Amino acid sequence: MLKETAYQWVDENEKKITEWSDTVWGYAELGLLEFKTSKYLSDITEKAGFKVDRGVAEMPTAFMGTWSNGPGPTIGILGELDALAGISQKALPYKEPIKEGAPGHGCGHNIYGAGSVAAAIALKTAMEEHNVGGTVKVYGCPAEETLVGKIWMVRDGLFDGVDAVLAHHPSSANTAGTGSSNAMNSFKVHFYGRTAHSAGDPENGISALDAVELMSNGINFMREHIIEKARVHYIHEDCGGQPNVVPAYARTWYYNRAPERAQVDEIYDWIMDIVKGANLMARTTSKVEFLTGCYDKLPNGVLATLVTDQMAEIGAPKHTEEELEFADKMAESIDVSKKMNSLQKSNRPDWQKLKDVHFDERVLPDYSAGMVGAGSTDVSDVSWVTPTIEFGTTCCMLGTPGHSWQFVAQNGMSIGHKGLIFSTKVHAAAALELLTKPDLLQKVKDEWVERLAGRTYKSPIPADLKPPLDQLKDA
């Protein structure tokens, strides 16, 4: 009856939970600017009986809700808040922005944030009714897309004393796996030179743009001699005003990624040497602005199995004729060959049979073991300080590109709602298992220690670095 109490609360409040998600979907605020979203979800959390700390880790939109029912384990539930720039979209199967150029929830963080709050309340309800001891912490995490929120929350000790953390990300699959992700550094280099007339007086100029180009040339020669799975990508943000003026200032922005944190550090050190070389060749000076960094994800097989067991017990949702018709229309905007390439790359079981299938309604076993995703996430840093799992539920049709208007559309209507409600129940069920089965929780911790292999977490951001609160204010 313990889990059934949580499920009953979710069923009775399904309309309310989807309303929370849709409200956040409508706000669609960028990272560290999620003021309406943060207030809305933290107020809901507080009204449900949680003690809410707002503005944690020096971020105005970050919050943590805590509720305790006496001695017992502490379980954390992650919620994300931010949207993505430029992909505003109505909940329609064809492209039509709500407001041209405005943000949209192209990664489903409306579901991630609202679902975490709902799961925490469902869990609290079951714990109260059945007198289960323990503590629940729900985290409102800003700016995941720019790898900021959880990095600073971890650095400030907000996960200290937490026994295990659960997280849900909207997906096209119902699964939890033991794949990892890339560690990363994000940084800008500001080069400084001296203006002069580019034709009449070039010998008196020092071109900051030359330094930017020399740096990028050095980076591109470096690529041949770093590990194959590393990624280094960049943009040039400011390269001068007009050709007849030697630019005295130029700025470039880099990400460097690799499967393990130590590899990122090694490549980063080499990049810093390239910056020095560019300065020597161009006669410029420079300043490196370190924005953020993250670790690779530390997987946990015990948690992955726990989550998929709960999925199977609950049963994955099925899609209606109306939703299938919506998907038929949206499929016109999805390239089938790219869909199949993505499915093959993901190693999804029986991917060859899914060409004409819109939704994967199966509960899938771990099919990401040993794989390293090319992307990066600040969930990874949480996984280095406490056992963590981030699972997926089907919130979009197969072939939906991440960070796309198609993703926005589906996560603002019943297709996304199905995955939202399912994930809320899975969260609560897995947490209740961890709270009531000490041997299971110990296995989770034992695996975590084993995977650490004696390594310790050191925050990738300098101790005096503040969150980049204005990073996206003009986006």
Give the type of residue at 413.
M
Rg (the chain; Cα; Å): 23
201 burial (CB, 10 Å; 0-12 / 13-18 / 19+) is exposed
Q: What is the mean pLDDT of residues 389-417?
A: 97
Give the type of residue at 99.
K
Spatial separation of the C-alpha atoms in residues 115 and 22, rounded to whole Å? 11
Spatial separation of the C-alpha atoms in residues 353 and 357, rounded to whole Å? 8
Q: What is the pLDDT of residues 16-53, one digit of tens each?
A: 999 999 999 999 999 999 999 999 999 999 999 999 99
Give Dmax (Cα) for the chain: 84
Q: What class is the 183-293 domain?
A: alpha beta
Residue spans per domain, the chain: 2-181+296-452, 183-293
* Residues 6 or more apart in contact with residue 440 via CB below 8 angstroms: 302, 306, 433, 434
HEC readout, 335-398: CHHHHHHHHHHHCCCCHHHHCCCCCCCCECCCCCCCCEECCCCCHHHHHCCCCEEEEEEECCCC
Q: What is the pLDDT of residues 163-176, one digit of tens each?
A: 999 999 999 999 99
Give me the residue label for tokens 């090694």.
266
Q: What's the whole-model pTM score?
A: 0.95
Residue 381 neighbours by CB distance under 10 Å:
30
Q: What is the dihedral of CA 438, 443, 448, 454, to 10 degrees?
A: 110
User: Is pLDDT above 90 for 471?
Assistant: no
Amino acid 264: pLDDT: 98
Give me the residue label for tokens 């990272």.
31
pLDDT category of residue 5 using cuts at 50, 70 and 90: very high
HEC readout, the chain: CHHHHHHHHHHHCHHHHHHHHHHHHHHCCCCCCCHHHHHHHHHHHHHCCCEEEECHHHCCCCEEEEEECCCCCEEEEEEECCCECCCCCCCCCCCCCCCCCCCECCCCHHHHHHHHHHHHHHHHHHHHHHCCCCEEEEEEECCCCCCCHHHHHHHCCCCCCCCEEEEEEEECCEECCCCEECEEEEEEEEEECECCECCCCHHHCECHHHHHHHHHHHHHHHHHHCCCCCEEEEEEEECCCCCCECCCEEEEEEEEEECCHHHHHHHHHHHHHHHHHHHHHHCCEEEEEEEEEECCCCCCHHHHHHHHHHHHHHCCCCCCHHHHHHHHHHHHHCCHHHHHHHHHHHCCCCHHHHCCCCCCCCECCCCCCCCEECCCCCHHHHHCCCCEEEEEEECCCCCCCCCCHHHHHHCCCHHHHHHHHHHHHHHHHHHHHHHHCHHHHHHHHHHHHHHHCCCCCCCCCCCCCCCCCCCCCCC
Q: What is the pLDDT of residues 102-123, one digit of tens each?
A: 999 999 999 999 999 999 999 9
User: Contact 135/66 with Cβ under 8 angstroms?
Assistant: yes
User: Is pLDDT above 70 for 475?
Assistant: no
User: Is pLDDT above 90 for 366?
Assistant: yes
User: Is pLDDT above 70 for 214?
Assistant: yes
Spatial separation of the C-alpha atoms in residues 308 and 306, rounded to whole Å? 6
pLDDT category of residue 470 using cuts at 50, 70 and 90: confident
* Residues 6 or more apart in contact with residue 15 via CB below 8 angstroms: none
User: Contact 82/29 with Cβ under 8 angstroms?
Assistant: yes
Amino acid 472: pLDDT: 73
Q: What is the mean pLDDT of residues 386-397?
A: 98
Q: What is the pLDDT of residues 424-437, one digit of tens each?
A: 999 999 999 999 99
Count the alpha carbons within 13 Å of 153 in the hemisphere toward its beta carbon: 36
Average pLDDT, the chain: 97
Amino acid 239: pLDDT: 95
User: Is pLDDT above 70 for 474?
Assistant: no
Q: What is the pLDDT of residues 326-360, one digit of tens each?
A: 999 999 999 999 999 999 999 999 999 999 999 99
User: Is pLDDT above 70 for 15?
Assistant: yes
Q: Which CATH architecture has domain 2-181+296-452?
A: 3-Layer(aba) Sandwich (3.40)
Q: What is the pLDDT of residues 127-159, one digit of tens each?
A: 999 999 999 999 999 999 999 999 999 999 999
pLDDT category of residue 390 using cuts at 50, 70 and 90: very high
